[in-house]
């Protein structure tokens, strides 16, 4: 049943417990292991694409020097060598691991919390809104966890000569600007990441449903594992493309804000202008599309490995069927 139901973020009707699961749905152990899955899915994938992320950030903050993705790689290799492409890997791994912990862990918490408030019938009727609300709530806290390491990462990647490692950069930033240096980008992070995460969860859910309904010529239950994985990857990539587009302007602001001392988000936005905020979009679409697809794969692999309970696909409650006259 590996990844048979990767699209497991359905309205959280509390499932009947199976003897094949390792813990109770909604228990502390369940949340902890979901958080662990988030650590692996976000930490590993974001660290794997550090070279592309580095070039993307440099395109955003210095478009005169770095004119395209290919040119960005050439200039970086010429100036810093191959090792230069790995700049910022440590804050990336730490920061996005913490973000993944909160993103996926709190998503599960808020999904169940909001579902209990709505009740079974409204949970079904408003399931897309439930995904959006739960993911936005989770990302609010995830960005607070991410902000310090994101600031360090961008400073290392976009200011040559400032610092080459996490240990060099953190004390230097603190000495110059204090604690504010690590959290001045949290509001732009919310602007970037909350729409991104809302799109990531809701778009993925709906895309999977549409692919199986209109594209895949047979029901999901009849698909082989490789076929299911293809659908999963395609749905994740499509969701990632939309994620990248809706969050890219704020991402550009974050990159420039963390490079420049004393600037505010409004000042950076005015400086970049309508065209400047879209610099580096192609690189980010490639990066985020790949990341989103791989993150679902890793996250669900963790849930399968630890035998966590998974809510079933959404079905209209019998009480609602009766109200709508759909039962005989």
Please compute the mean of the pLDDT values over residues 67-74 and round it to a whole number.
84
**Structure confidence at residue 248 (pLDDT):** 79
Instruction: Report the C-alpha dihedral over residues 104, 108, 114, 117, rounded to 10 degrees.
Output: -170
pLDDT in tens, 91-111: 999 999 999 999 999 999 999
**Structure confidence at residue 109 (pLDDT):** 95
Does position 72 have pLDDT exceeding 70, yes or no?
yes
CA atoms within 13 A on the CB side of 7: 24
pLDDT in tens, 22-58: 999 999 999 999 999 999 999 999 898 888 888 877 8
Q: How confident is the model at residue 133 (pLDDT cuts 50, 70, 90)?
A: very high
Mean pLDDT of the chain: 83
Residue reference for tokens 């290392």: 156
Task: Give me the percent of the chain exceeding a pLDDT of 70.
Answer: 88
Cα separation, 35 vs 37, whole angstroms: 5
Does position 258 have pLDDT exceeding 70, yes or no?
no
**Structure confidence at residue 70 (pLDDT):** 86
Identify which of 196, 98, 200 has the alpha carbon closest to the alpha carbon of residue 153: 98
The tokens for 90 are: 């440590």
pLDDT in tens, 219-253: 777 777 677 767 777 888 888 888 888 877 877 77
């Amino acid at each position: 049943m590996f990844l048979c139901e990767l699209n497991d973020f359905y309205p959280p009707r509390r499932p009947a417990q199976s003897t094949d699961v390792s813990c109770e749905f909604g228990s502390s152990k369940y949340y902890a292991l979901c958080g662990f899955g988030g650590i692996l899915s976000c930490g590993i994938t974001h660290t794997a694409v550090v070279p592309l992320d580095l070039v993307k950030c440099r395109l955003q903050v210095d478009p005169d020097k770095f004119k395209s993705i290919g040119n960005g790689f050439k200039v970086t290799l010429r100036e810093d060598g191959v090792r230069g492409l790995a700049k910022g890997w440590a804050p990336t791994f730490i920061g996005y691991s913490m973000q993944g912990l909160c993103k996926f862990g709190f998503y599960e918490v808020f999904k169940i919390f909001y579902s209990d408030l709505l009740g079974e019938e409204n949970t079904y009727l408003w399931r897309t809104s439930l995904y959006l609300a739960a993911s936005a709530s989770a990302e609010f806290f995830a960005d607070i966890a991410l902000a310090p390491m994101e600031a360090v990462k961008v400073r290392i990647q976009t200011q040559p000569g400032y610092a080459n490692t996490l240990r060099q950069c953190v004390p230097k930033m603190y000495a110059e600007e204090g604690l504010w240096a690590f959290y001045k980008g949290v509001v732009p992070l919310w602007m970037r990441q909350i729409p991104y995460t809302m799109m990531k969860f809701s778009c993925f859910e709906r895309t999977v449903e549409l692919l199986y309904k209109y594209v895949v010529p047979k029901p999901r239950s009849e698909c082989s594992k490789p076929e299911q994985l293809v659908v999963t990857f395609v749905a994740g990539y499509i969701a990632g493309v939309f994620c990248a587009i809706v969050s890219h302007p704020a991402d550009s602001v974050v990159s420039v804000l963390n490079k420049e001392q004393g600037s505010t988000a409004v000042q950076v936005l005015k400086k970049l202008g309508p065209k400047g905020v879209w610099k580096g979009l192609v690189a980010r679409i490639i990066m985020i599309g790949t990341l989103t697809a791989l993150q679902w794969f890793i996250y669900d692999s963790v849930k399968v490995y630890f035998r966590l309970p998974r809510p079933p696909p959404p079905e209209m409650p019998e009480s609602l069927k009766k109200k709508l006259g759909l039962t005989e």
